[in-house]
Amino acid sequence: MMQNILQPYLKISKFKVVLLMLVTALVGVALAPKPEGWSILHLFAALVGIMLVASSGGSINHLAEIKVDEKMNRTAHRPLPQGQLSELHVLIFSIVCMVLGSLILVLSTNLLCVLLTISAMIGYAVVYTLWLKPITPQNIVIGGLSGALPPLLGWVSVTGKISAEPLILVLIIFTWTPPHFWALAINRLEDYKKIDYPMLPVTHGVKYTSLSITLYTILMILSTQLPFVIGMNGIIYLVIANILNMLFLFDVILLQISPTTSRGFGVFYHSIIYLFLLFSVMIIDHFFHYELIIY
């Protein structure tokens, strides 16, 4: 019974997406220098606060796109089009998540973290969803910055300031985002044609999109070298990151050679696994690297 009640709310919060965001935020926390008095409770509170604010943004996205979701095969099963939740319920859920998440961040982190987290939510829910997405094929490039911020949020929740290290993590996700979403757009090309959204495969064709995916993947690979270059991560990270890079690039090249909808979904799916493993390796390597330095 409880599962049936919670399931629609988990869907409108985009919980699976939020979990991936939390992994990248956790890397920001793990790699940040810890001040005196910092504890695991601060980590828990920061992640819960970020999760709730991000869930609020996901809910607003569902509200804003209910008419669009009804027309697309990929999204027609969502709670709002299916009538599992009313628009009022989703609005209340979004407000509660926003207020509660912001309050937790205010009490457990710092003002800069709160402002950046709220800015990221507004960037995604308002700037990207309501403004950029319907008007430009570069929507995901411009709007992708909001989704790239969680590592910075995690770092700032500990340190209270912005520095080069978390910005490199942001850069990695920023360059990862276009291959991730454009691959899905290739897979769902007919859906996007139905709603007349200017996604890149619709406006410029699948071949152009697959080439763009390849170019952004190369930029992403270059950006993944920077944590090693500045000494934030060590050799374990470098080796495993480049194995992941080559595997992902191979998948992307196959998409460019044969830009089919099935290959598009394959790149999309593998991009999620890629980012999860890359950032997990950052945490593992950091502690090995740190122990070696201490030793």
Give the model's pLDDT for residue 286: 87
Q: What is the DSSP letter of 19?
A: H
Same domain, 1 and 144: yes
Q: Structural domain tally of the chain?
A: 2
Q: CATH number, domain at 236?
A: 1.20.120
Same domain, 192 and 149: no
Are 189 and 201 spatial neighbours (Cβ–Cβ below 8 Å)? yes
Taking only the tens place, the pLDDT of each residue in 10-30 is 999 999 999 999 999 999 999
* Overall pTM surpassing 0.85 (yes/no): yes
Give the model's pLDDT for residue 143: 87
Q: How far apart are CA 173 and CA 23, in angstroms?
A: 12
Q: How far apart are CA 152 and CA 225, in angstroms?
A: 18
Same domain, 40 and 104: yes
pLDDT above 80 for 5: no
Given 134, 160, 186, the domain boundary residue is: 160
pLDDT above 70 for 256: yes
Structure tokens at 74: 């990929």
Same domain, 58 and 120: yes
Give the model's pLDDT for residue 295: 42
Which segments within 71-164 are labelled E, that is strand?
none
Q: Which domain holds residue 58?
A: 1-160
Neighbours of 196 (CB within 10 A): 11
Question: Strand, helix or coil at 82?
Answer: coil
Same domain, 13 and 110: yes
Same domain, 62 and 194: no
Q: CATH number, domain at 128?
A: 1.10.357.140
Q: Where are the alpha helices (DSSP H) in the chain?
A: 2-12, 15-31, 40-64, 66-71, 87-108, 111-122, 139-147, 150-159, 164-187, 189-195, 200-204, 206-223, 226-229, 235-257, 261-294
Residue 231: phi and psi, rounded to 5, are 85, 10
Taking only the tens place, the pLDDT of each residue in 102-132 is 999 999 999 999 999 999 999 999 889 888 8
Same domain, 100 and 231: no
Given 102, 126, 160, the domain boundary residue is: 160
Same domain, 13 and 151: yes
Same domain, 138 and 256: no
Same domain, 129 and 151: yes
Share of the chain above pLDDT 90, in %: 82
Give the model's pLDDT for residue 294: 43
Same domain, 13 and 77: yes
Given 160, 180, 205, the domain boundary residue is: 160
253 burial via Cβ count (<10 Å: 0-12, 13-18, 19+): middle
Same domain, 121 and 228: no
Q: How far apart are CA 164 and CA 290, in angstroms?
A: 19
Q: How confident is the model at residue 71 (pLDDT cuts 50, 70, 90)?
A: confident
